[in-house]
Amino acid sequence: MLNEEYSYRGTNFIIECKEHINRVASPGSRNYIIRGLLSYGEEVEVPKFIDGDPVTSFMPSQKIVYPKIKRLCLPGYLGKFPERNDIFPDLEILKVDPENQIFCTDGKMLYRDGGKELCLSLCAGNRDDTVTVPQKVMRIGPNAFAGSNCEKIVFENPRIEAEDTSFDGSVWLRSCGPAVYVGNMLYRISTNNTDRRLTIIIKEGTERIHKSVFTGIGPLTRLKLNIPENMEFPGFADAVVEALMNATIRDGYKSSGLVTASRMSGAGYEGKEIPIPLSLDANGMKLLRRTLDFGEDFYDEIFDSIGSGKEKLDYALLATAGDYDAPKDSYRKYIEYNQDRAAFRATEILSEESISSLIRRNLLGREALLGILPKLQESGMVNAAAGILVAVSRGHV
């Protein structure tokens, strides 16, 4: 194999010439890779042939940027092109030879596979305020909108797929708010470092959840998903569990967040806030699916199926705090059996109102309550702290 890099005579391209012998190419056949530009104007046309052999790749250094190029023409045999939106920051028009079997363009964005995959937003995709992704597009490539400046993206195909990094660093991703949707898929939940408690209402019509939906959650963020009462979402529970495992945020007591879910009626009433356990056996997962996917009430049965002590305690605290009737005996017994741990965990995952509810119900003993008193005061939960002092002074605990 000959690997030679040089400036092709009479052009401004830095090229790499490859010779190869295989079953497809005849012996001695060559192809060329464009590795850079020595100088350029506003329009650059990548040659189709050099010395009669095809140019098959335009792959400059990953760090090279070519400003001021406004028009770029790609040849018919080109099969590789850098998937970077920043390489031509001033590009206005993109052209692709109609004979190209790999790429095509609408002048604004680069596609492959006959227009089914959007490779790069390029040109106006990087510059327009609003970009429409056509109905024909089924996939968005890994860096298609990375770093792009468009503020709004319209997805004509509701079943469109997107990669983890498709929108990294884009203005659109930052402007979407905490719940980011790609078509009918909940794609990402974005938070900032100050979001300690966040509630996301799942939109009606949601049919999918991206496997990396929780990667934007901060390590101490408590996230609650509200599911409309009348929405049936087959696979919701499985999708959430898979996403939680991918994000590795369900360790409960260390640098991890907590995700819970509840059904929500049309009047806005939120049902019990229930953590989504990962340690369920097969029967427990079946119950979780029926509860989250279709709104059936198997909360107590799910609690009995949880295998992890950490998840069981979270579940007991949240289920008890969210139920203003008499708590189930198994919840009460589990909390009372783990007094110190339960009190400490309550300060991490419960609201001040819920902690006050636990105090009023005498679910936490005197020593456990006094142990968390400094933390409540430091956290500004002054009403809960006052409730402890009152309960202790009156001998209620």
Q: Among the residues of the chain, which ranges form H helices? A: 122-127, 171-175, 236-247, 282-294, 299-305, 309-321, 329-337, 339-349, 352-360, 366-378, 382-393
Give the integer Cα–Cα distance in Å for 175 and 96: 32
Domain boundary among 301, 317, 342: 301
Q: Per the domain annotation, does 5 fall within a domain?
A: no
Q: Are residues 294 and 322 in the same domain?
A: no
Structural domains of the chain, count: 2
Domain boundary among 279, 301, 323: 301
Whole-number Cα distances in Å, 352 to 38, 299, 349: 65, 23, 10
Residue 79 phi/psi, 5-degree rounding, is: -120, -10
Residue 105 phi/psi, 5-degree rounding, is: -150, 155
Which runs of E-coded beta strand occur in 184-249? 185-189, 197-201, 208-209, 222-228
Q: Are residues 371 and 326 in the same domain?
A: yes
Domain boundary among 239, 272, 301: 301
Q: Per the domain annotation, does 209 fall within a domain?
A: yes
Q: Per the domain annotation, does 104 fall within a domain?
A: no
Q: Per the domain annotation, does 343 fall within a domain?
A: yes
Residue range(s) defining the domain that contains residue 266: 191-301
Q: Are residues 360 and 383 in the same domain?
A: yes
Q: Per the domain annotation, does 214 fall within a domain?
A: yes
* Look-up of token digits 């206005």: 92
Q: Per the domain annotation, does 369 fall within a domain?
A: yes
Of the candidates 341, 346, 289, the residue with the CA atom closest to the CA atom of residue 322? 346
CB-CB contact of 13 with 44 (8 Å): no
Tokens of 7: 């400036």
Question: What pTM value is reported for the model?
Answer: 0.83
Q: Are residues 294 and 353 in the same domain?
A: no
Count the Cβ atoms, other than its own, within 10 Å of residue 229: 15
Q: Per the domain annotation, does 277 fall within a domain?
A: yes
Give the integer Cα–Cα distance in Å for 382 and 170: 41
Q: Are residues 212 and 311 in the same domain?
A: no
pLDDT one digit per residue (tens) for the chain, 397 residues: 334 444 554 568 888 887 754 544 454 478 888 988 888 889 999 999 888 889 999 998 777 888 889 999 999 999 999 888 888 888 889 999 999 999 999 988 999 999 999 999 876 666 778 899 999 999 999 989 988 888 899 999 999 999 999 999 889 998 888 899 999 999 999 877 666 778 898 998 899 999 999 887 766 678 889 988 888 888 899 999 888 888 765 544 334 567 888 887 766 567 778 888 888 999 999 999 999 898 888 888 999 999 989 889 999 998 887 655 667 888 889 988 888 899 888 888 888 888 888 888 888 888 888 888 888 888 888 888 887 887 778 766 6
Q: Are residues 243 and 282 in the same domain?
A: yes
Q: Per the domain annotation, does 251 fall within a domain?
A: yes
